[in-house]
Each structure stands twice: as C-alpha cells, then as structure tokens.
Amino acid sequence: MPVASLLPFTVTPNRKSVSPTSFRLTEKFILLLVFSAFITLCFGAIFFLPDSTKLLSGVFFRSSSSVESETRTGTVSDMSTGTGKDEKILAKIRKDHEKALIEAKDTLQKGPSEIKQDINSDKEKLAPNGQGKGAKADSLPFVQYERPPGATGHEPADPDIKAKRAKIKEMMQFSWDNYKRYAWGSNELRPVSKQGHSSNLFGSLKGATIVDALDTLYIMEMYDEFEAATEWVDKNLDFNMNAEISVFEVNIRFVGGLLSAYYLSGKEVFRRKAVELGEKLLPAFKTPTGIPWALLNLKSGIGRNWPWASGGSSILAEYGTLHLEFMHLSALSGRPVFAEKVMNIRKVLNRLDKPQGLYPNYLNPNSGQWGQHHVSVGGLGDSFYEYLLKAWLMSDKTDEEGKKLYYDALQAVEKNLIRKSSGGLTYIAEWKGGLLEHKMGHLTCFAGGMIALGADGAPDDKTGHQMELAAEIARTCHESYTRTSMKLGPEAFRFDGGVEAIATRQNEKYFILRPEVIETYMYMWRFTHDPKYRQWGWEAVEALEKYCRVEGGYSGVRDVYANTPNHDDVQQSFYLAETLKYLYLLFSDDDHLSFEHWVFNTEAHPLPVIKKQTPEIANQLK
Ligand code: DMJ
C-alpha cells in the first residue's frame, strides 16, 4: 500500500502544495506548540497560584485552638465560623491573588530585551537633573570632601588596653598578610589549604576580602596595606561581568565597603566605584512591587529569588538592608533614584498588615503579600530592624518615620519573642506562625548592641528598661560562649529540653568567626564603660588565638564543644570587616568613630551621619 493512502488527507502529486513530509513537520510543529502551551500552563500554575504556605498557615490557625493569633485577614475565630465575613475575607484573598497573578504574568512575560529597555530607561533617569545620557559613574557631580571627625584614633592611655589593642592590630596584620600571600584577588582565603575561596554569594565578582577590609586597614592605620588595596580596587575591581550575585551581600560588603573607604580617605575612586556598583544593582528592583530580587545577574539585569525561599519570596533581612547605603549613594551621586528605591520598600511594608505587629521574614515581590509567617531577629530578619533604627540615626534624627517603625517593631518583638529561661537568661526566640521556637542564633546576638544603641531615643520611660534588656542579651550571648569547650559561641543555641544557651544539634555547633557577640560587647562598653565587656572581648581574643589561628590565617571551627578544633578552612571576609574591627574599637577610646558622627552598616562599615547642617547632601535626599 502506498504510503500516501495511509494519510488522512489527499496528496495531490505535482502540486505546489504540502508534501507528506512537510505536513508531518507542520503537525509536529503544532504538537510542539500545544505541548509547550501545556508546559507553560503547568509552569504558570506553580508560579501564579496562591502562595500555598499562606493557605497552610490559614489551616494551621484554624486547627490550633490554643493560639488566638490574628492572621493577616482576620482572627482565628473569624476563619473557622464560616460567617459572611469569611466569604468577604476569601473574596479579598482571591482578588488579591488575581491581581498578583496579572502583575506577575506581566513582569514575567517581558522578554529579556524589554527588561533591558526598562533598565536603560532607568539609566537615563539616573543622569543628574535629567540631562544627557550620562548614567556613568564618571559623570558624577563635584562633591567637596570633608573628613568626618574620628576617622582615626589615638593610643589609649592605659598600657594594658594599649597592649591589647596592639594585639588585635597584629591579628588583622596576620589575617591580611596571609590573604595577600595565598589568595590575593580571590574573595576569601582558605587558611588551612592556603588558597583562594569563593562562595556563590558574589558570583564571579572578585576581591570581597579586599573591599570588606579597606576601612579596617584605614582605622588601624595600616596605610601601606590600604594603598595596595586601593590600587587593586582601581585596577581590578570590575562589575561588568556575567555574574549572578546576592544583592544583599554585594550591597553590605562591596557598596558599604567602598562608601566607607571613600568617607575615611576621600579617594574619588571609591565614590566612583560605589556609584557604579549601585547602578548595577538597580535592575534588581524591577518587580511589580519594587521589592528587589535576592539574586541579580549583573550583565543581563535579570533577577530572581532564592529557590528555597517560601513561595518565591524576597527576604526581609535582604531587601530591608539596603537603606543606609542607598541613601549615601544618592547623596554622593546627586541621583535620587537610589533613595527612591529604598523609600518605596518602606511604602510597600507600611501598607501591609503585620501579624501581632511583627514582620514576617518572607514577602512575595510580585504580589506584595507576606509568605510564611516566620519571624526572626536572627537570620532572615536581623538587619532589617537594625536599618530602621540606623536610618533614623544616620539622618541626624530627622527620619521620624524610621524611628517610629523601629520602636513599634521592637515593642512587638519584646511582647512576642523575648523570653526568660528558668535559669534567668533572657533570649530572643523565633516565631513560626504564632508558635515559639526557643532557639537563638549567633546572628541574633547583634540585637544587644542594637537595643543599646536605640535605648536613648526610646519613647517615654523605656530608656532604662532597654539598656537593661540589652545588657541581659549580652549576658546570654556571653553564656553561649562560656558554656562551650572552646569559649567560642555556637551558630545557634536553645532553651528547651532541659538546656540553656547550648547547641543541641550537631549542625548548630559551628563557629565561623562571626562578629555579633563582640559587636554587642563594643556597644555595651561604649554606653556603660563596665569593664566586664572588655574582659569578655578579651576572652574571645584568647579563644580565637587558641582555636582559630592556623598557619595560614584564621579559620572557623566545626564544633565548639569539641576539645580540639576541626577547621572549616575559611577565613570569612567579615572577620576582617567586622570581628577584628569591633574588637579594635572595644579597646579604643570612644571618640574613634564616635556614634555622634558615624553609623555602622550591618557589615561594620562606618557611614557618616548626614548632618542637618550639611544642606547640599541633605537636599539630595529630599
Ligand atoms: C555579616 O555579613 C553581616 O553582619 C550580616 O548582617 C550578617 N552576617 C554576617 C556576619 O555574621
């Protein structure tokens, strides 16, 4: 039988019509179209369906009789009684989701070229006063540089303190020399295997340790090293690459590091590089709400969120930790766009209901709705709270909104998260949809310093109360150190199952040279001058020397309860940026980077307070 007769259509030979084979091709093409439409639908369903975690949290609230928590849209009893109010709530949820769906589709349907166009139009807007196309950092307006007070310090009078301060400088020298010798230009040093190390936080960006360490080198008066680092930044720090980076990490370490280096030294190269990098980060804000993506490809300008984050959410501690740097980028570039982006984040947050006045860690940038109702003053939440307070302080206390947001948030944290153990240790627990997890992270320990820093401006009679609270948190965090064999704190410690301030899970026993506990000692020392804080800081120095110092630098350890260290072979860049800097300041006089003139970003990079009487800068921010 001829093949043609098997076909469901007539083939007319010698006609310039469809040949059997081309028909098959067409069919294949149609099939392919149908198939890809089907895949798109499935794919779309995953992305655009209502955030299942939100639905789950609704279910949780309904079945949890003991928790009378308020959900975003109503109370537990509202949800379970099936009243007309219920229907209204559901209708609103549906409407919100539909809106989010349309917005999300709209964004995601844009091809890369459209996104690029948007980015370019943003760049146009970047030009000062809307003139010309000069979005380039080299077209920056002239800024009269004036070094803020306290950029360098002086030797402490007390010989013991002087010697301790000198020892900490030696630790910095050792960390730096080894980085320079074995890992120059890499992001970090592997001090055991004596080679470079890079985590995926920076994509193919290079030199994290150099940029993060610049200001520490400067304040410790290590000027030759500072010069070498400056030269590397000038010649090698390059942002024009196909690299997917973490917007938060690059902002706090690179933008923050460059800004501080500029304010301390007055070198134009740092201002130029900071603004250039700031511009590169702007496409991250291309979401329907303006809440930035967590990850951004610096070349294509295409962003996305961490695949593990609740329903495609952005993270509170990430999008909430851009404010200080972006305000300074506007001040130094004369371009309001940076300030606009971070003020818009506030606007989005202000419009949302907060469960119990708390800020959940997850927020969907497409729908502008919360993801899972998890709250933490540690990982995923921490520096958001810090930046509310510091936004107010950095504005020379003119940003009243920042102030109110901070104290309101702290009040909710106090009420819902802060608890005292039976042994009398105050700790900050984590909140999971209304239930407490009695665990505190090393990261959370920064809160002692933050609360002390904010105590002064606290409403009504709260000042004394907040200083007390800060001191209690400092004590708890110190306990988490003293209860280990190495006298270094674990990544997380618990207050349940009969333990207090101790890590019970193997994967929470590590120490990666983090600064938060020492940071809190430094703030507490400055506000109280109680010698115990210097003593506690010195205990940490001794432990670092004993367990973390290796031939090729400083390394984290895998288990602080073990008797001998098992090194993780990473000298984190924040060890030079934060841990050693805070230790040095703990043993320095208070006028070195005084709180009156400087605010530390979350990576310990000092940024000057924008004084009311500095009209040229203050005006840029209006
Ligand atoms: C640093 O990069 C910053 O302090 C950040 O805010 C939290 N984590 C690390 C240090 O632990």
What is the 516 CA–ligand 1 centroid distance (Å)?
8
Helix, strand or coil, per DSSP, at residue 282: helix
In ligand 1, the atom with minimum distance to the C-alpha of 249 is 2
Instruction: Out of 382, 574, 580, 600, give the residue to mutate to test ligand 1, the one with the largest number of ligand atoms within 8 Å of its CB.
Output: 574
Chain segment 365-417, per-residue pLDDT in tens: 999 999 999 999 999 999 999 999 999 999 999 999 999 999 999 999 999 99
| pLDDT grade for 138, boundaries at 50, 70 and 90 | low
Nearest one of 290, 288, 406 to 340, comparing CA atoms: 290
pLDDT averaged over the chain? 84
For 507-562, what is each residue's pLDDT tens digit? Answer: 999 999 999 999 999 999 999 999 999 999 999 999 999 999 999 999 999 999 99
Atom nearest to 446 CA in ligand 1: 4
Three-class DSSP category at 242? coil
| 141 three-state secondary structure | coil
Query: Exactly one of 276, 472, 491, 578 is catalytic; which is it?
Result: 491
Confidence grade of residue 118 (pLDDT, cut at 50, 70, 90): very low
Q: Of the candidates 342, 367, 347, 371, which has an alpha carbon nearest to the alpha carbon of residue 359? A: 371
- Determine the pLDDT at residue 27: 55
pLDDT score recorded for residue 42: 41
Q: Report CA(603)–ligand 1 centroid distance (Å).
A: 6
Q: What is the DSSP letter of 417?
A: T
What percent of the chain lies above the pLDDT cut of 70?
A: 76
The least confident of 84-88, 431-435, 538-542, 602-606 is 84-88
How many A from CA of 253 to the centre of ligand 1? 9
Q: Where in the chain are the domains? A: 11-126, 160-621
Pocket test for ligand 1, best of 578, 581, 601 (most atoms within 8 A of CB): 578
Return d(Cα 234, Cα 232) in angstroms, integer: 5
Q: What's the DSSP call for residue 491?
A: S
Report the pLDDT value the prediction gives residue 32, as an integer from 0 to 100: 54
Distance of CA 381 to the CA centre of its chain: 8
Q: Which ligand 1 atom is the nearest neighbour of the CA of 519?
A: 4
- For atom 8 of ligand 1, the residue with the nearest CA is 443
* Tokens 């609103």 found at: 92
Buried b (16+ CB within 10 A) or exposed e, 32-62: eeeeeeeeeeeeeeeebebbebbeebbebbe
pTM of the model: 0.80
In this structure, which residue's CA is closest to atom 10 in ligand 1? 514
Task: Look at strands 439-441 and 492-494 and give their pairing.
Answer: antiparallel
| Distance from C-alpha of 580 to C-alpha of 321, rounded to nearest angstrom | 22
Q: What is the mean predicted confidence (pLDDT) over 484-501?
A: 97
Given this model, what pLDDT does residue 33 score? 52
Report residue 208 as tokens.
């994290």
Position 51 scores a pLDDT of 32
Gap between the Cα atoms of 51 and 40, Å rounded: 18
Mean pLDDT of 169-188: 98
Residue nearest to atom 1 of ligand 1 (CA): 603
Could you tell me the strand order of the sheet in which 435-437 lies?
374-375, 430-432, 435-437
**If pLDDT is split at 50, 70 and 90, which confidence band does 35 have?**
low
Q: Which region among 132-141, 156-165, 185-194 has the lowest average model confidence (pLDDT)? A: 132-141
Q: Which pLDDT score, from 0 to 100, does residue 621 have? A: 56
The pLDDT tens digits for 325-368 are: 999 999 999 999 999 999 999 999 999 999 999 999 999 999 99
Q: Are strands 188-190 and 606-608 parallel, antiparallel or unpaired?
A: unpaired
* pLDDT over 60 at 123, yes or no: no
For 470, residues 6+ apart whose C-beta sits below 8 A from its C-beta are: 448, 449, 451, 452, 455, 520, 523, 524, 527
**Is residue 472 pLDDT above 50, yes or no?**
yes
d(CA 319, CA 294): 8
Among candidate residues 139, 134, 125, 141, the one with its CA nearest the CA of residue 283: 125
Q: Integer distance in angstroms from the first to the last C-alpha of the chain?
A: 83
pLDDT reported for residue 353: 98
What's the gap between Cα 585 and its chain centre? 23
> Which residues touch 97 (CB under 8 Å, ≥6 apart)?
49, 50, 367
- Which residues form ligand 1's pocket by a CB distance below 6 Å? 383, 443, 514-515, 574, 578, 602-603
pLDDT at 612: 85
Q: Is 394 exposed, middle or buried (0-12, 13-18, 19+ CB in 10 A)?
A: buried
CB-based contacts of 260, cutoff 8 Å, min separation 6: 214, 215, 601, 605, 606, 607
CA of 316 to the centre of ligand 1 (A): 14
SS3 224: helix
The predicted pLDDT at position 199 comes to 85
Rounded to an integer, what distance in angstroms lies between the CA atom of residue 428 and that of residue 445?
9
DSSP 3-state assignment of 607?
A: strand
Residue 124 pLDDT exceeds 70: no
Q: Rounded to whole angstroms, how far apart are CA atoms 129 and 126?
A: 8
CA of 220 to the centre of ligand 1 (A): 21
For residue 139, what pLDDT band results from cuts at 50, 70 and 90?
A: confident
Instruction: Give the up-direction half-sphere exposure of residue 422: CA atoms within 13 A in the CB hemisphere.
Output: 5
CATH class of 160-621: mainly alpha
The preferred substitution site among 247, 382, 443, 510 for testing ligand 1, maximizing ligand atoms within 8 Å of CB, is 443
The predicted model gives 280-292 an average pLDDT of: 98
Å from CA of 574 to ligand 1 middle: 7
Nearest ligand 1 atom, CA 317: 6
Protein residue closest via CA to atom 3 of ligand 1: 603
| Nearest in space to 559 (alpha carbons), one of 487, 618, 509 | 509
Three-class secondary structure of residue 558 per DSSP: coil
Q: Can you tell me which atom of ligand 1 is nearest the CA of 383? A: 6
Q: Where are the alpha helices (DSSP H) in 19-158?
A: 20-48, 52-63, 76-81, 84-109, 112-126
Segment 191-196 shows an average pLDDT of 98
Q: What's the pLDDT at 135?
A: 43
Convert 178-206 into a string of H (helix), E (strand) and C (coil). Answer: HHHHHHCCCCEEECCCCEEECCHHHCCCC
Q: What number is the average pLDDT over the span 572-581?
A: 99
3-state SS, one letter per residue, for 433-488: CCEEECEEECHHHHHHHHHHHHHCCCCCCHHHHHHHHHHHHHHHHHHHHHCCCCCC
Per-residue pLDDT at 293 exceeds 90: yes
What is the arithmetic mean of pLDDT over 228-252? 97
- Output the pLDDT for position 593: 98
> pLDDT category, 200, cuts 50, 70, 90?
confident
**Whether 491 is catalytic:** yes
The highest-confidence range among 9-18, 197-206, 371-380, by mean pLDDT, is 371-380
How far apart are the C-alpha atoms of 310 and 371, rounded to whole Å?
6
How many whole angstroms separate alpha carbon 583 and alpha carbon 155? 15
Distance 99 CA to ligand 1 centre (A): 36
Band (pLDDT 50/70/90 cuts) for residue 136 is: low
| CB 515, CB 489: distance < 8 Å | no
At residue 442 the predicted structure's pLDDT band, cuts being 50, 70 and 90, is very high
- pLDDT given at position 116: 39
CA of 260 to the centre of ligand 1 (A): 17
Q: Which residues pair with 432 in a beta bridge?
A: 374, 435
Side chain identity at 613, as an amino acid letter? Q
C-alpha of residue 210 to centroid of ligand 1, in Å? 16
Residue 301: φ, ψ to 5°: 75, 15
Question: Which residue from 217, 160, 153, 152 is spatially nearest to 589, judged by alpha carbons?
Answer: 153
